[in-house]
Amino acid sequence: MTFNAEINSPASDLDAKSYKQRLNRWAIAQLMPNKQLVIVARYRSRSDADGHLLFFKQQSPEANFVVIVDKKDADSD
């Protein structure tokens, strides 16, 4: 039985992803003026990301930050 697996993913794709790469699914991204996203931080849970989002907004009120689901590839990091 496979745990931490997406139901529709083939088994070979799941084996290729390491446990560490599947941990940090939530991210805070800064919206740049050229409409690009820059990942500022990654988190394991949505509530952690939401809490830190408030901190980032307080520290840089002029910047635009959003919480996103991080869909990074297995090749990144």
pLDDT per residue as tens digits for the range 32-76: 999 899 999 999 999 999 999 999 999 999 999 999 998 764 445
**Length of the chain in terms of residues written:** 77
Order of strands across the sheet that contains 26-31: 37-43, 26-31, 64-69
- How far is it, in rounded angstroms, from Cα 51 to Cα 1? 34
Q: Is residue 29 part of a domain?
A: yes
**What is the pTM (predicted TM-score) of this model?**
0.63
Domain range for residue 32?
A: 24-69
Q: Is residue 36 part of a domain?
A: yes
Give me the number of domains the chain comprises.
Answer: 1
